[in-house]
Amino acid sequence: MQCVRKQPTRTKSEELIYQEERKAVARENGKLLGMEGDADLQFLLTGGDLLKVRSSSWKKTRFYKLQEDCRTMWHESHKKLKSKQTFSLDDIEAVRAGRQSEGLQKHTEEQVEGRCFSIIFKGRRKNLDLIASSEEEAKQWVTALEKILSNMRNLSQQQKTEHWILNCMRKADKNCDNKMSLKELKHFLHQVNIEVDDDYAEMLFEKCDHSKSGHLEGPEIEQFYKLLTEREEIDVIYGKYAQTDGQMSGTDLLNFLLREQRQAVSLDDALKIIEKCEVDDTAKDKQQMTKDGFLMYLHQPEAMILNPAHKEVYQDMTQPLNHYFISSSHNTYLMEDQLKGPSSTEAYIRALMKSCRCVELDCWDGSEGEPVIYHGYTLTSKILFKDVIKAIKEYAFKTSEYPVILSLENHCSVEQQKLMAKHMTSILGSALLTEPLGDQMPTNFPSPEELKGRFLIKGKRLNKLDAFYTLESTVEDYSVSEDDEAADAQEDEEKKPKKSKLKMAKELSDIVIYCKSVHFNGFEDARDNKAFYEMSSFKEGKAVKLAEESANNFIHHNVNKLSRIYPAGSRADSSNYNPVSLWAAGCQIVALNFQTPSKEMDLNQGCFLPNGMTGYILKPAYLRDATSEFDPITLTRGEWLQHKTLHVMVISGQQLPKINKKKQKSIVDPLVRVEIYGVPADMAEKKTHHVENNGFNPMWNQQFQFEVYVPELALVRFVVEDYDSTSQNDLIGQYTLPFTSLQNGYRHIPLLTKNSDVIPSAGLFMHIMVVDAQ
């Protein structure tokens, strides 16, 4: 173990020793990352000057370098040497080459394009915009950062834990003597979120201090690490099945996979797992598995709680578009609230990178002749419509190749509508759908498969789609009734009567193909008088009322048409509503505020987690059947009733972080809550007791049972909170997935932050069993 803290004064010889120790630390961490001796890693460790850009007038040189822990970037001002700041590589969402951020586009000239790059952070932290001294240097920074980020994200759970614990040990070594005193050991335990009494700390210390020197070093620290990371629950499970000379043979492992994990596997599959996961070469040669190898297997992605078959596209993608739930965003342009928050192209990028497939563009006349996007009648900032279209074009299909719907809320004059149409056709090019597929008037939607890589425009249209197939395509009246959502927005924000007519540019009208916006005048009118491509938008209150009082009619409506649901205008804080009841009514485009972390967004991301994160989930058959009698409220008998019993044993947690920085000196008191969302009959939640002062390896061993009647519409949310008897519990992490994507058996569960980012090293360990109800 080497120290990374710089001491105030050193002699020359001490400084040489210190520098060698720092290099050794970097080598050790580089080895953990699989980058030992890597030139890109060495480049980051050496660091260099970069020009930091905040505005046209604020551009200052800063020195940036990677610290020896290989997970923290450090920078300082040349003018103020005492001004030092760091940020963790774990906080980086992406590194983007060129002038791709709004800041660089606004505050720099085109000629520096090749020297620019941006570091995009998770959450709401501002981007870091930088300019290198040359194009070659900029490429080196981007390449090196992307490589180390990729290697960090590909570490196994055990490797992440080892990396984290070793660095906590170094921080605890206050006097940098590569030894650990009893006081430093107590400091370390606090660092890793464990509070123990003095007697226990002394017992641990004495157990490892074989030299009786009053401090731990070398092998003694290694023994302490092994004692600390011992998993009693894993010992019990392993001991039950390790029946071959104290280890697991292929047959022993097969027995575990069949009996506990309920997997349809063979002996050959078990042997392949040993070959892949066993860390001891001697055991591997015997085709046996040690406890370390077994733990390695339990941390493999395919052994986690999410069914690995569901990580790829596994559903039929050739059904009509309206037969899918579609991940959808409301007020996509906003980064924060809808009264004074900033509008940004970055908000579109973040939503698209989360597989959102329907984004909203709230379009208004710009003061300089160019249409802008912002939340009308508020103080939210404005962004150019054409800049948004460019960002959408660039990022639409990086996470999912399936179609993206651009939902236009149009408040523009005819002239600026023409510009909107021009920008979309010129920027999106052939990817923009400008006419129906096929040479005959369609009677149904094309499929997501047929629309791969295409953009669809949702908005008002002056005439019927038949105009593409008839000689008579002239338009007599260039006015249309105002879009429901646009009228609602005006009524909510301005408190004026709704406008009844909007002048429409034919150029914009003509590129609205399969998603023509119309007013909803009831289910009967929609059935008898509206074409399949004519769709309505519903404010959440109206939609929820329909879903509660006329669920079966709503389901039949959505068998033939698309429906978009959006939050009430009264949600000034950009909060969200529960989407589950609306999915149960067959609604496809249930739009949420992606910029607002919430339980509702957790449910949305959980719903769209499987099927390759395409942003499309095939609705159950009974939500695609025009004769369906399904009603989520009354739950009459039918194919939807597939009563299952879910048994959950919450066993343990690992490396749960302290989230609330205001309570930094205290240790977390974690509890786990298991929640079921779905039809009303399936809604349930149960929670464990809290474990005092242990976020490192808390144990619960509590069993719960849930009855689930409509599993195809159910979601399971695992929540970890820091218990507080005097105030609201703090969220530590959560993980949400569809009930039908659960894997049986002993499973680790990753934890996500409120922004849906993975928390490195942290997780839960549970036993899951889904059985047919008696």
Distance in angstroms (rounded) separating the CA atoms of residues 213 and 193: 27
Q: Which residues, including other chains, have CB under 8 Å from residue 393's CB and lie 6 or more apart?
A: 427, 428, 431
Task: Give residue for tokens 């390759």.
Answer: 612
Q: Which residues, including other chains, have CB under 8 Å from residue 202's CB and lie 6 or more apart?
A: 182
Distance in angstroms (rounded) separating the CA atoms of residues 389 and 371: 12
Q: How far is CA 81 from CA 48, 63, 67, 374, in A?
A: 15, 10, 17, 41
Annotated catalytic residue within 375, 411, 423, 690: 375
Helices (H), 192-305: 198-208, 219-229, 232-241, 250-259, 267-277, 281-285, 291-298
Residue 400 β-bridge partners: none
Edge-to-edge order in the sheet of strand 84-88: 84-88, 72-77, 59-66, 48-53, 128-131, 116-121, 92-97
Annotated catalytic, 375? yes
**Cα-to-chain-centroid distance, residue 384:** 27
Distance in angstroms (rounded) separating the CA atoms of residues 684 and 714: 11
698 DSSP 8-state letter: -
Does residue 605 contact residue 736 with C-beta atoms inside 8 Å?
Answer: yes
247 DSSP 8-state letter: B
How many other C-beta atoms can be found within 10 angstroms of the C-beta atom of residue 662?
7
Tokens of 403: 């179609």
User: 675 in helix, strand or coil?
Assistant: strand
Does residue 726 contact residue 711 with C-beta atoms inside 8 Å?
Answer: no
The one-letter amino acid at 249: S
Annotated catalytic residue within 75, 330, 556, 690: 330
Distance in angstroms (rounded) separating the CA atoms of residues 396 and 379: 28
Distance in angstroms (rounded) separating the CA atoms of residues 19 and 21: 5
Task: Give residue for tokens 């710009």.
Answer: 366
Distance in angstroms (rounded) separating the CA atoms of residues 100 and 119: 11
Residue 296 β-bridge partners: none
How many other C-beta atoms can be found within 10 angstroms of the C-beta atom of residue 332?
28
CA quadruple 129, 330, 575, 379: dihedral positive or negative? positive
Annotate 587-656 with DSSP letters as a single string. Answer: -SEEEE-TTS--HHHHHHHHHTSSGGG-SEEEPPGGGS-TT----TTT--SSTT---EEEEEEEEEEE--
CA atoms within 13 A on the CB side of 561: 26
Annotated catalytic, 689? no
Annotate 392-403 with DSSP letters as a single string. Answer: HHHHTTSS--S-
Which run of H or of E encompasses 362? strand 358-364
Does residue 99 contact residue 90 with C-beta atoms inside 8 Å?
Answer: no
Task: Give residue for tokens 């009494």.
Answer: 197
Distance in angstroms (rounded) separating the CA atoms of residues 265 and 654: 29
Beta strand extents in 644-698 (DSSP E only) = 644-654, 670-677, 684-687
The one-letter amino acid at 230: E
Distance in angstroms (rounded) separating the CA atoms of residues 517 and 483: 7
Tokens of 413: 């004059």
φ/ψ of 355, rounded to 5, equals: 75, 15
Q: Which residues does the annotation mark as catalytic?
A: 330, 375
